[in-house]
Chains A and B, each alone.
Chain A
Amino acid sequence: MEDLRDIRIGGRVTVSQGDEILVDNATNHIVNQGLKGIISMFCGNYFSGYSTGYTYCNRYYATVSLGLDTTTVTTRSTADLVNKIATAPNTFSTNSPNAETGTRWGMTYTAIWNAGVITSQIGEIGLYNGNFTNITPNWTSQNSNYTATLFSRISAADGDFTIFTPSTASTMVVNWEIGVNM
């Protein structure tokens, strides 16, 4: 039965190479920057682009990054991966936000690294987003881009997965679903 009173916002992460599951549906840790971005959506008035100016935000800067750290747990104030690998995914996409069951809305971010691109041992993975940053009621902005900041993280230090080194023989796929559940 749907519980419309307590909505849960969560993230589930799966990492795979071919048929091998390296991270199996791990629960992510959404950090303060992510929560602030959502409150900013609630209290915001509008944002705009004037003339030849843009305001780039949320999805524009979205990406998934990998990191090496194996000892630092995620806290609310964690603002970045501890030891980030600079190599961006070879492809990155999102599906259409969708109602999966009628009481669950979600969107999946998919990052793919080609075979052999990542050879390091992975201890942390982060979802980045162009999070809004202003929680002043009725805020507006114009021609003012946001930047990619950490939205949520999984890590070996948190017990979310066991450290792994990707095989160089096949592509590595990260599927990160952010869901809103009744």
Chain B
Amino acid sequence: MADILMTGLVSCRNSDDPDEYIFKDRKNKFTTYGMQTIPCNLNILYTYGGGAVTASIGLCSYNSTWNMYMGTNTNTGTTSGMTALTSPIGTTPGTVPSSKSVATLDGTSTGIWACTWTAIWNTGVISGNVGEMALYLIYDATTTSGGWYYSNGVNGTTQTTPGMYSRLCNADGDFSTFAIDTTKPVIVDWKIQLTYA
């Protein structure tokens, strides 16, 4: 029981059959946003309205603005400094899912903790040959020494910008490219899991 292993596991379906996967539990690669958000969030002190107002700090799943996108690139591997898909499907940063949801796994008894983001593109919403996909979460890059807070005296929320937290791609051998069957929905489960190494 020493270090904690953080792993991103991605499963993808393009079917109405819940058991028919294109691939399952493939390990993503994390970017800098995925690394820095944890210590930067640990560095938060407080929020304070400062009047008849509400001052808020957004977390990774803020206001359902987290997202997933798909792209067509097949030859660019993921690096830590990447901030976007190489060739997104649709207008940058990509075609948004039709619906999204979040689930968690309580690891109190097992030591396996997880958060899973699920995105569904309804039939015909997205098309193309998929070579890359990405999870966008609200990231924290605030590096104030001694902690940071939000107290602006007016209604507002800080930390609301999603950034590419992790990526899965054909170029890294994560999955084989596939052409989306536009007669069926596309469903992606993206799980970030914490376990004892």
Q: Which partner residue on chain B sits nearest A31 by CB separation?
A: B1
Tell me if B49 is interfacial: C-beta within 8 Å of chain A. Answer: yes
Tell me which residues across on chain A come within 8 A of B103, comparing CB atoms: 137
| Structural contact, B63 and A94, CB atoms closer than 8 A | no
| Structural contact, A43 and B104, CB atoms closer than 8 A | yes
Within 8 A of A (CB), among B14-29: 27-29
Tell me which residues across on chain B come within 8 A of A46, comparing CB atoms: 56-59, 62-63, 157
A-B contact count (CB 8 A): 225
Tell me if B74 is interfacial: C-beta within 8 Å of chain A. Answer: no
Tell me which residues across on chain A come within 8 A of B106, comparing CB atoms: 36, 135
| Complex Cα–Cα for A175 and B89 (A) | 47
Tell me which residues across on chain A come within 8 A of B143, comparing CB atoms: 96-98
Q: Which of B46, B55, B64, B194 contacts A9 (CB 8 A)?
A: B194
Tell me which residues across on chain B come within 8 A of A28, comparing CB atoms: 2
| Structural contact, B104 and A39, CB atoms closer than 8 A | yes
Q: How large is the interface on A (under 10, 10 to 19, 20 to 34, 35 or more residues)?
A: 35 or more
Q: Contacts A42-B60, A43-B102: A74 and B144 contacting too (C-beta < 8 A)?
A: no
Q: How large is the interface on B (under 10, 10 to 19, 20 to 34, 35 or more residues)?
A: 35 or more
| Structural contact, B80 and A102, CB atoms closer than 8 A | yes
| Complex Cα–Cα for A102 and B78 (A) | 15
Tell me if A41 is interfacial: C-beta within 8 Å of chain B. Answer: yes
| Structural contact, B38 and A77, CB atoms closer than 8 A | no
Q: Which partner residue on chain B sits nearest A32 by CB separation?
A: B108
Tell me which residues across on chain B come within 8 A of A138, comparing CB atoms: 61, 64, 102
Q: Contacts A44-B61, A94-B145: A59 and B2 contacting too (C-beta < 8 A)?
A: no
Q: Contacts A5-B29, A49-B48, A97-B43: A42 and B192 contacting too (C-beta < 8 A)?
A: yes
| Complex Cα–Cα for A38 and B36 (A) | 13
| Complex Cα–Cα for A52 and B34 (A) | 33
Q: Contacts A59-B147, A102-B80: A10 and B35 contacting too (C-beta < 8 A)?
A: no
Q: Which of A4, A93, A102, A137 contacts B30 (CB 8 A)?
A: A4
Q: 13 A-B Cβ contacts within 8 A?
A: A2-B80, A7-B6, A35-B113, A35-B194, A44-B62, A52-B49, A54-B47, A94-B145, A97-B36, A97-B42, A104-B35, A135-B106, A136-B104
Please list the 5 inter-chain residue pairs (A to B) with the smallest Cβ-Cβ separation, ordered nearest first. Answer: A44-B59, A4-B29, A59-B147, A48-B56, A137-B102
